[in-house]
Amino acid sequence: MSVLQKAMPDPGGMAAQFRELFGDEKPRLFFAPGRVNLIGEHTDHEGGHVFPCAISFGIWALAAARPGEVVRLCSLNFEEEGVVEAPLRGVEFDSARGWANYPLGVIRVLEDHGHALSSGLDVLFWGNLPEGAGLSSSAAIEVLTARAANDLFGLGLDGVELAVLSQEAENKFIGVQCGIMDQFASSMGRKDHAILLDCAKLDYRYAPLALDGGRGPQSRPCRLVITNSNVPHSLASSEYNLRRQKCEAALADIARVRPVQNLCELTMEEFDAVKDAIRTPEALRRARHAVTENTRTLRAVKALESGDLWAFGRLMRESHLSLRDDYQVTIPELDALAELAWAQPGVVGSRMTGGGFGGCTISIVEEAAVEAFIREVGESYAKRTGRMASFYVTDTSDGARRVTDEP
């Protein structure tokens, strides 16, 4: 079991490495956070609501414009791969470029939308988001690239536009049909808040994440604890696309009996009235998850805003059960982590978070109980699954931003 501490890069050391790699330019330092979704899972691609927050783990970049038509990228997380060079204009996906496809996809999408960079670019990345954990390292590097390009080349795009373009890079360049949640949270996060986002309209508002004890009689100060199952979410993109297809099939079936744009516009009553039109039990279960989860998310935010954190926690548990039984994206390791958390004293709520098939759970835990939580859940998880969990006690964070002019 390990507890990852929040580590900031040493900007001076990073700047020295930047100069060594790229020469004597004056780079600026940028940061984009990862995200954790508190509730509203697998609703973004069905036009529903999500409730993520940006976290204090993320990716930093030192970036500078350079003359010429070449982009040079290096990541301290993949140092052995050295500097990746690519053409500034018309860059195509190339598997040989590995991780660098994420930033390059953003540069390409910016160009396709008439925001071509006016010259080349050098970037040195460093991140402390565990890879494959479902905390949106890919969205963070995309949004970070978009934010840095926007700033260095004066593109004049706002945070929502940067999120939408980053999602397009993931969909079209990388080929993963994700929704908007991850890029939106990384771009638009606000410290001490989570974002209630309507993914159909891109309307959003911030809800204070009152973890300081709140107003309820049972309330004590709480922390967000992310537990990594350390099962990489490798099936995630194939299974993800399959889940989306089943939801589309359900939507098409419903559309034969009533006009409908997306599943999450239906209330529970409306869904119950049309659900018999869905032709397969599998599509019915997938659609039922989308509709119930959307409703749960709205109820959960209401509960949080009225100061009832424990009601929020109960809805987190219901969300996990729906993801397990109806959407079927949990795996035994995620179920074990959630069940062990529910049995611990001082746990307000716990559920799997992100796409599923590996990755993490998110738990709201009373501060005084965090140490015992990490010990007990860690030990029991190891006994039950033979795996070691990792724990990240995280703060919330602002969205992607320039950190300094010069490190």
Which residues in this chain contact ligand GLA in the complex, by CB under 6 A? 37, 41-42, 44-45, 178-179, 181-182, 354-355
Name the residue among 396, 35, 356 with its Cα closest to residue 197. Answer: 35
- Of 37 and 219, the one with the shorter C-beta distance to ligand GLA is 37
CB of 389 to ligand GLA, least distance (A): 20
Is residue 258 classed exposed, middle or buried when 0-12, 13-18 and 19+ CB atoms within 10 A define those classes?
exposed
Name the residue among 190, 192, 193, 148 with its Cα closest to residue 166. Answer: 148
* φ and ψ of 355, to 5 deg: -70, -30
- Of 56 and 319, the one with the shorter C-beta distance to ligand GLA is 319
Q: How far apart are CA 384 and CA 361, in angstroms?
A: 16
CB of 309 to ligand GLA, least distance (A): 22
- Of 120 and 355, the one with the shorter C-beta distance to ligand GLA is 355
Name the residue among 94, 85, 71, 43 with its Cα closest to residue 295. Answer: 43
Angle at the Cα of 195 from the Cα atoms of 361 and 351, rounded to 5 degrees: 15
Beta strand 203-208 with 222-228: parallel, antiparallel or unpaired?
Answer: unpaired
Instruction: Name the catalytic one among 10, 122, 158, 182.
Output: 182
- Of 170 and 308, the one with the shorter C-beta distance to ligand GLA is 170
- Of 123 and 139, the one with the shorter C-beta distance to ligand GLA is 139
170 and 44 in contact (C-beta within 8 Å)? no
Q: How far apart are CA 177 and CA 25, in angstroms?
A: 37
CB of 176 to ligand GLA, least distance (A): 7
- Of 239 and 270, the one with the shorter C-beta distance to ligand GLA is 239
Please name every residue paired with 196 in a beta bridge, in sequence order, or none if there are none.
205
> What is the DSSP code string of 77-107?
GGGGG--EEEESSS----GGGGGGHHHHHHH
195 and 188 in contact (C-beta within 8 Å)? yes
CB of 325 to ligand GLA, least distance (A): 16
Place of tokens 């969990």: 389
132 and 388 in contact (C-beta within 8 Å)? no
Told to judge if 182 belongs to the known catalytic residues of this protein, a careful annotator would answer yes
CB of 57 to ligand GLA, least distance (A): 15
CB of 226 to ligand GLA, least distance (A): 14
For the annotated catalytic residues, the residue numbers are 182
